[in-house]
Amino acid sequence: MNWKLFVILSILVAGGGAGYYYNSRHADAGTAGFVQEVTAKVLLDRIKAENSPLVLVNFWASWCEPCKIEFPHIMEVRAKYLNKGLKVIFVSIDDVQDRLAAENFLRAQKVDFSTYYKGNTPLKFITEIYPNWTGAVPTTLLIGADQKIVDAWEGDTSLEEFEARVQRHLKGS
């Protein structure tokens, strides 16, 4: 009797573990393409394709508390300045095994546009875009219509500071 119970419990535990393992590494069908693995070239091509007077690129991580605090500020600034040409691109520096955590956070923040994550790409791809990057997150770049960085900073930022920086550079466009 104990042997049968052991077998049943073993099967249940193994099945649950396999399901967790699979789900933690694969997006569900409704989010296919929602979070895409990124390289410097992919990101630079996306910035160019936005054809925008100002693109805000935010490097963040699902485990970064300051990133989570400032995230709603970015979403609010995006909503406020979208009609004036502001585009936002989020790039999670999470590894492959943390993709689900990043996707869940993005869903909770009601992000409804394609975003990126580091995945297997070495972190040096960020310095190919922003050579002064120290490795800190959050890091935010504002990129002008000519695809050149017009402003950049590391560390969490208040809503007021995001707005001031975005307004300053949108006026110059």
Over residues 100-127, the pLDDT tens digits come to 999 999 999 999 998 999 999 999 999 9
Same domain? For 3 and 45 the reply is no
Same domain? For 84 and 71 the reply is yes
4 or 157, greater pLDDT: 157
Same domain? For 64 and 25 the reply is no
Q: What confidence category does residue 18 fall into, taking pLDDT thresholds of 50, 70 and 90?
A: very low
Same domain? For 10 and 80 the reply is no
Taking all residues of the chain, what is their mean pLDDT, rounded to a whole number? 85
Q: Is the pLDDT of residue 15 over 90?
A: no
Residue 156: CA count within 13 A, CB half-sphere: 12
**Amino acid 173: pLDDT:** 54
**DSSP character at residue 31:** G
Q: Give how many domains the chain has, as a whole number.
A: 2
Same domain? For 14 and 66 the reply is no
Q: Which residues in 24-134 belong to E strands, given as ranges?
A: 35-37, 54-60, 86-92, 115-117
Same domain? For 20 and 51 the reply is no
Q: Is the pLDDT of residue 21 over 70?
A: no
Q: Is the pLDDT of residue 34 over 80?
A: no
For the domain that residue 103 is a member of, what is the CATH number?
A: 3.40.30.10
What gap in Å lies between CA 93 and CA 113, rounded to an integer? 18
Q: State mean pLDDT over 12-16.
A: 41
Q: Is the pLDDT of residue 6 over 50?
A: no
Report whether 167 contacts 89 (CB < 8 A): no
**Domain housing 41:** 33-171
Same domain? For 56 and 86 the reply is yes
**Amino acid 36: pLDDT:** 92
Nearest alpha-carbon partner for 63 in 89, 31, 37, 101: 101
- β-sheet bridge partners, residue 144: 54
Same domain? For 18 and 97 the reply is no
What gap in Å lies between CA 3 and CA 6, rounded to an integer? 5
What gap in Å lies between CA 51 and CA 114, rounded to an integer? 16
- Rg of the chain over all Cα atoms, to the nearest angstrom: 19
Same domain? For 2 and 77 the reply is no
Same domain? For 1 and 39 the reply is no
Same domain? For 69 and 140 the reply is yes
What gap in Å lies between CA 130 and CA 126, rounded to an integer? 6
What gap in Å lies between CA 68 and CA 132, rounded to an integer? 23
Same domain? For 5 and 56 the reply is no
